[in-house]
């Protein structure tokens, strides 16, 4: 019998969204409520976020009722890959036509293709690895990493070095559990190292961010400003926070306070306990996905669940490290917590596909028993 949702996954997602919605209201509504409460534009962001969450959860629920094997057919996977590449190229065309130096969105600033590219990438890699019986042969491995490398190059041209690096890291994790021998990494790790070095050390604003990360107080009014304001927010919050709506850093001092730095706002207004709640909820979400992946016998479903878990785990560690200055500032949204319709909708669709695996794994395990016995997903020497 198909159930709607895993209770723990749904609890963690709704709880994280409510925390994020609290940040959106605190940043965009509460400071201006006394003077502008009659202006409908004041409530645009929280209402839009709520609407996207409702629609996304409904779409995810529909996906959860569909057998996930429909999503990993060759025709579907390659179609989604083609759409993903086309959308990234469309961003570059839009950037050239408008004469911008940086552009990562379609349709103004309301649709970021990167968030949906992640879904197509996980679907493709899960399908391809199992269809080829692992990636122990070099041709299989090279064809598996070819699409993500193309996508990463297109992201670099936007430029979005953080997004490109995110896709490369996700790909590395999937191909590792997909059966790549350790000796392959002797060749691949240096190449990835060169890519990371280029992505993080090239001239321009990235170099400025690296310098600011090393010592933000060398340039506190410019390149180091954002990092310093985030640290101030955490320091001011203390153990219990100053109270919802009472934070000061969001009042112009901390840029992107409801998107990339939403955790800093929670750190100031809800204190260490608020940040601890985020950590616990993400541990529950990722842990539950990994638990289901471990107990799924069908290889494609196992990889889909693992890839979904890694998407949220990487986003969590990246964002938390950024706001606490453990890594250079590069905007990676924290799913369900950061404001943004593309990330929120894509994250819910991710979970809808994962829930489909959970719902249908019992019925598919027997039909795939012969395949799973011949396909190994563990690395071999």
77-89 pLDDT, tens digit each: 999 999 999 999 9
> Looking at the predicted structure, is the pLDDT value of residue 198 above 70?
no
Distance CA 66, CA 63 (A): 5
Report the b/e string of 267-305 with b at 16+ CB within 10 A. bbbbbeebbeebeebbebbbebbbebbeebebbbbbbbb
Number of domains into which the chain is organized: 1
pLDDT band at 158; cut points 50, 70, 90: confident
Residue pair 297/168 in contact (Cβ under 8 Å)? The answer is no
Share of the chain above pLDDT 90, in %: 46
Distance CA 59, CA 80 (A): 17
Residue pair 246/269 in contact (Cβ under 8 Å)? The answer is yes
Tokens 């994020």 identify what position?
Answer: 20
Question: Considering the domain boundaries, does residue 231 fall inside one?
Answer: no
Distance CA 3, CA 309 (A): 20
> Looking at the predicted structure, is the pLDDT value of residue 106 above 70?
yes
Question: Considering the domain boundaries, does residue 131 fall inside one?
Answer: yes
Residue pair 94/103 in contact (Cβ under 8 Å)? The answer is yes
Cα-flanking dihedrals φ and ψ of residue 198, to 5°? Answer: -65, -45
> Looking at the predicted structure, is the pLDDT value of residue 370 above 70?
no
Least confident of 9-23, 45-59, 324-338: 324-338
pLDDT band at 2; cut points 50, 70, 90: very low
Distance CA 350, CA 115 (A): 10
Q: What share of the chain is helix, strand, coil (3-state, %, to 5)?
A: 70, 0, 30
Q: What is the pLDDT of residue 257?
A: 86
Question: Considering the domain boundaries, does residue 153 fall inside one?
Answer: yes
Q: What average pLDDT score do residues 359-378 get?
A: 50
Distance CA 63, CA 349 (A): 8
Question: Considering the domain boundaries, does residue 179 fall inside one?
Answer: yes
> Looking at the predicted structure, is the pLDDT value of residue 339 above 50?
yes
Q: What average pLDDT score do residues 256-276 get?
A: 91
> Looking at the predicted structure, is the pLDDT value of residue 379 above 70?
no
Please enumerate in sequence order all residues whose Cβ is within 8 A of that of 222, keeping only pairs 6 or more positions apart, or say none: none
Higher pLDDT, 302 or 250: 302
Supply the DSSP string of 302-368, one letter for each residue: HHHHHHHHHHHHHHHHHHHHHHTTSS-------TTTS--HHHHHHHHHHHHHHHHHHHHHHHHHTTT
Q: What average pLDDT score do residues 347-374 get?
A: 70
Q: What is the pLDDT of residue 142?
A: 86
> Looking at the predicted structure, is the pLDDT value of residue 381 above 60?
no
Higher pLDDT, 171 or 161: 171
Q: Give the pair of three-digit tokens for residue 223.
A: 């390149």
Question: Considering the domain boundaries, does residue 211 fall inside one?
Answer: no
Closest CA to 94 of 158, 160, 149: 158
Question: Considering the domain boundaries, does residue 141 fall inside one?
Answer: yes
Please enumerate in sequence order all residues whose Cβ is within 8 A of that of 238, keeping only pairs 6 or more positions apart, or say none: 271, 272
Distances (CA, A) of 227 to 217, 242, 268, 271, 316: 9, 20, 14, 18, 18
Q: What is the pLDDT of residue 377?
A: 42
Higher pLDDT, 51 or 96: 51
Distances (CA, A) of 278 to 199, 268, 271, 339: 29, 14, 11, 15
Q: What is the pLDDT of residue 153?
A: 92
Q: What is the pLDDT of residue 285?
A: 97
Q: What is the pLDDT of residue 147?
A: 93
Highest mean pLDDT among 37-41, 140-144, 274-278: 274-278
- Per residue in 200-237, pLDDT (tens digit) is 555 555 556 666 666 676 666 666 778 888 888 899 88
> Looking at the predicted structure, is the pLDDT value of residue 364 above 80?
no
Report the b/e string of 346-365 with b at 16+ CB within 10 A. bbbbbbbbbbbbbbbbeebe
Cα-flanking dihedrals φ and ψ of residue 106, to 5°? Answer: -105, 155
Tokens 């019992």 identify what position?
Answer: 362
**Please, what's the largest Cα pairwise distance for the chain?**
68
Question: Considering the domain boundaries, does residue 170 fall inside one?
Answer: yes
> Looking at the predicted structure, is the pLDDT value of residue 352 above 60?
yes
Least confident of 199-208, 266-275, 331-340: 199-208
Question: Considering the domain boundaries, does residue 269 fall inside one?
Answer: no
Q: What is the pLDDT of residue 254?
A: 83
Residue pair 281/320 in contact (Cβ under 8 Å)? The answer is no
Q: What is the pLDDT of residue 195?
A: 63
Helices 138-156, 74-98: axis angle to 10 degrees equals 30
> Looking at the predicted structure, is the pLDDT value of residue 92 above 50?
yes
Domain enclosing residue 153, as ranges: 72-202
Q: What is the pLDDT of residue 373?
A: 38
Q: What is the pLDDT of residue 274?
A: 94
The number of beta carbons lying within 10 Å of the beta carbon of residue 93 is 10
- Per residue in 12-47, pLDDT (tens digit) is 999 999 999 999 999 988 888 887 777 878 889 999
């Amino acid at each position: 019998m198909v159930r709607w949702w895993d209770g723990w996954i749904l609890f963690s997602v709704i709880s994280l969204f409510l925390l994020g919605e609290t940040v959106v209201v605190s940043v965009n509504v509460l400071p201006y409520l006394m003077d502008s409460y009659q202006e409908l534009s004041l409530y645009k962001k929280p209402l839009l976020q709520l609407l996207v969450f409702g629609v996304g959860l409904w779409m995810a629920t529909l996906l959860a009722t569909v057998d996930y094997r429909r999503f990993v057919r060759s025709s579907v996977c390659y179609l989604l890959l083609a759409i993903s590449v086309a959308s990234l190229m469309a961003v570059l065309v839009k950037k050239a036509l408008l004469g911008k130096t940086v552009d990562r969105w379609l349709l103004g600033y309301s649709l970021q293709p990167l968030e949906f590219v992640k879904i197509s990438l996980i679907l493709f890699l899960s399908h391809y690895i199992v269809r080829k019986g692992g990636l122990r042969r070099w041709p299989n491995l090279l064809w598996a990493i070819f699409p993500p490398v193309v996508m990463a190059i297109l992201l670099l041209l936007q430029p979005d070095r953080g997004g490109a690096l995110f896709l490369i890291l996700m790909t590395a994790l999937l191909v590792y559990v997909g059966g790549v021998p350790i000796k392959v990494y002797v060749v691949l790790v240096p190449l990835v190292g060169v890519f990371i070095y280029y992505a993080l050390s090239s001239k321009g604003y990235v170099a400025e961010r690296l310098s600011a990360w090393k010592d933000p107080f060398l340039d506190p009014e410019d390149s180091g400003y954002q990092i310093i304001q985030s640290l101030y927010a955490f320091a001011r919050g203390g153990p219990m926070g100053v109270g919802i709506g009472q934070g000061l850093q969001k009042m112009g001092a901390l840029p992107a306070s409801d998107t990339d730095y939403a955790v800093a706002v929670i750190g100031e207004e809800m204190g260490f306990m608020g940040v601890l709640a985020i950590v616990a909820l993400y541990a529950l979400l990722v842990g539950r996905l990994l638990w289901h992946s471990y107990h799924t016998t069908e290889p494609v479903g196992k990889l889909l669940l693992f890839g979904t878990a890694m998407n949220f785990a990487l986003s969590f560690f990246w964002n938390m490290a950024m706001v606490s200055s453990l890594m250079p500032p590069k905007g990676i949204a924290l799913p369900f917590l950061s404001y943004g319709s593309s990330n929120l909708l894509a994250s819910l669709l991710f979970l809808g596909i994962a829930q489909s695996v959970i719902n249908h794994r019992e019925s598919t395990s027997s039909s795939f028993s012969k395949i799973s016995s011949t396909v190994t997903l563990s690395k071999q020497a």
